[in-house]
Structure 1
Amino acid sequence: MSQTFTLAWRGLVQIKHNPEELLDLSIQPLMFVALFTYVFGGAISGSTGDYLTFALPGIIVQNALFASVTTGVGLNSDLTKGVYDRLRSLPISRAAPLAGRILADAVKQAWSITLILALGFALGFRVDNGPLGVLAAFALLLVFSLAASWIAVLVGLLASAPEKVQIFAFVVVFPLTFTSNVFVPTDTMPGWLQAWANVNPVTILADAVRGLLTADPSASLIGQSLLWAAAIAAVFAPLAIRTFKRRV
């Protein structure tokens, strides 16, 4: 645990020297919130305030999924630059570098969620369920993000360069989020797309977060989100760990 925390701290301290690492977790989500609210809000919901209430939880979910990809990018960068070769020569746990990377990225996730909520509050977003609702939404998002990060870890281990891990975000995560109800209600979609959107795990997670922040929390949606997280982790965590052992 001590080695894991030390390497997680390394992942956070290096932001001071490479602040661009936080750009994707800071500037991009803030642009999504501002642009979608003021450009599409009136057309979709009739007013920017109503759209912000609907879209902000979904944007938080989308950002959490994109942010999980940074785990794979950072892991691949360490592997290709020889960082793991140096760590392997030290008397530390082989799992500590990977666990430290995931823990550091979870802290970055929390920072990003806080930043989006802060902008949302400044634009008029209000939480109806108080601090407990916010904490529950934080916990659900972090649990799902940690599960999704195992997919990014596997891709990061298999890819030959960090840029190829980023391609994964656009090939898989991008269409997954845009075929959900993150930005628009599913009843505006064609019937065939509604069928997919309604079972899309991103839709389920977005609705669960909306319930925790702005409506009556749904135990069913929260449970389904946790089941999806457990299923993703059950499939991809063993594959990622086996690949990690072979490569490191």
Structure 2
Amino acid sequence: MCSGTTPAGISPTAAARVTSAACAPDGGRRVVSVEHTVTVIRAPRGRARIAALGGQIGAFSLVELQKLRRDRSELLTRMIQPALWLLIFGQTFSHLRVIDTGEVSYLAFLTPGILAQSALFIAIFYGIQIVWDRDAGILAKLMVTPAPPAALVTGKSFAAGIRSVAQVVGVLAIAYLMMIPLTVNPLRILAAMAVVVLGTVFFTCLSMTLAGLVRNRDRLMGIGQAITMPLFFASNALYPVDIMPEWLQRLSAVNPLSYQVNALRGLLLGTPANYLVDIGVLVLAALLGIASASALLRRLTR
């Protein structure tokens, strides 16, 4: 009976020659030499790792944005609500003159708040989409890729921010048609878009965090509806902080939406704004949101 030996293992150089004995048809022996080549791929480090993470975030964002190609009417339908706020609510309270906004007209004061509100309404229900992805089995496939959960969360939230830019363009177009005195400086308008994107990232991550906690579409929709209006009314989007009761001023001070509106008013109206504080709060809120949503993302796939 023929016998042979096969060396086990591969050399540290990642290339080894393995020799084994096999029976020949005539009962003799022949030596079969097999050469194995193993390629070792090292994980990227330093700048390469940052570049790889950026590519992963960009890929996830692109996938999300491509969903708009299936239903482009979504952007138009989402313009209805902010248009009604400006055309009905804004015009009515502007004529009533019940809210003192100083030298700025109430319509001009309201417009940055409507920009922040429209982005908030896009972001706060974004967690429902990730629950849909879970139910369709898409999320489980994404979670087994080499990309970390933070890349997936950041990509989706950044895509939501890009969607909100379309809202900014629409609201600004309506405001200019209504002859509301906003800036026409393109750099300030671009900066305002960046502020809206930054705020949208936080509220999208907040929605995905809630999705990781409740893991149910119906409950998530109910919670989203329950917190959207308090977030909006407990900010300075509709009225100055000075006329709020003291307890509401305290809520406004910890509401990221208030800092977003402050930065937008400074950029679009030229009112006094502490950009360092406003942008700093939004960046910190976005980072905390990404961290919390990433930590709870795997809970959705269980």
Q: TM-score, normalised by structure 1?
A: 0.82
Where in structure 2 are the equivalents of 1:22-37 lying within 5 Å?
A: 22=75, 25-37=78-90
For residues 24 and 152 of structure 1, the distance between their equivalents in structure 2, rounded to whole angstroms, comes to: 21
Measured after TM superposition, the shift of residue 87 of structure 1 is 3.9
Quote the residue 2:183 is aligned against. 128
Report which stretch shifted further, 8-17 or 58-67.
Answer: 8-17
Report which stretch shifted further, 8-17 or 115-124.
Answer: 8-17
Measured after TM superposition, the shift of residue 214 of structure 1 is 0.9
- The 3 A distance-change label for structure 1 pair 193 and 79 is same
For residues 207-233 of structure 1, what are the alpha-carbon distances to aligned partners after superposition, in whole Å with 9 as ceiling and x for unaligned? 221111112452x2x222223223323
For residues 155-183 of structure 1, what are the alpha-carbon distances to aligned partners after superposition, in whole Å with 9 as ceiling and x for unaligned? 12223333332323322231121122211
Quick check: which one's helix share is greater? 1
The equivalent position to 2:224 in structure 1, one of 145, 165, 169, is 169
Measured after TM superposition, the shift of residue 94 of structure 1 is 5.1
The equivalent position to 1:206 in structure 2, one of 249, 261, 272, is 261
For residues 59 and 288 of structure 2, the distance between their equivalents in structure 1, rounded to whole angstroms, comes to: 28
CA RMSD of the aligned region, Å? 2.9
Is the contact made by 1:67 and 1:109 (CA closer than 8 Å) also made in structure 2?
Answer: yes
For residues 44 and 198 of structure 1, the distance between their equivalents in structure 2, rounded to whole angstroms, comes to: 26
For residues 224 and 67 of structure 1, the distance between their equivalents in structure 2, rounded to whole angstroms, comes to: 25
Is the contact made by 2:215 and 2:300 (CA closer than 8 Å) also made in structure 1?
Answer: no
The equivalent position to 1:110 in structure 2, one of 165, 178, 199, is 165
| RCO comparison, higher one (Cα < 8 Å, 6+) | 1
Q: What percentage of residue pairs aligned between the two structures are identical?
A: 25
- The 3 A distance-change label for structure 1 pair 201 and 6 is closer
Structure 2 unaligned residues grouped into runs of 5+: 1-53
The equivalent position to 2:205 in structure 1, one of 121, 135, 150, is 150
For residues 84 and 200 of structure 1, the distance between their equivalents in structure 2, rounded to whole angstroms, comes to: 31
What SS does the aligned partner of 1:29 have? Answer: helix
Largest Rg, 1 or 2: 2
Where in structure 2 are the equivalents of 1:63-74 lying within 5 Å?
A: 63-74=118-129
Measured after TM superposition, the shift of residue 5 of structure 1 is 3.5
For residues 97-134 of structure 1, what are the alpha-carbon distances to aligned partners after superposition, in whole Å with 9 as ceiling and x for unaligned? 44432232121011111111111111112323622221
Length, aligned pairs only: 244
Measured after TM superposition, the shift of residue 53 of structure 1 is 0.6
What letter is aligned with 1:29? P
Task: Say yes or no: does 1:245 pair with 2:280.
Answer: no
Structure 1 unaligned residues grouped into runs of 5+: none
Quote the residue 2:46 is aligned against. none
- The 3 A distance-change label for structure 1 pair 186 and 87 is closer
For residues 199 and 84 of structure 1, the distance between their equivalents in structure 2, rounded to whole angstroms, comes to: 33
Q: TM-score, normalised by structure 2?
A: 0.69
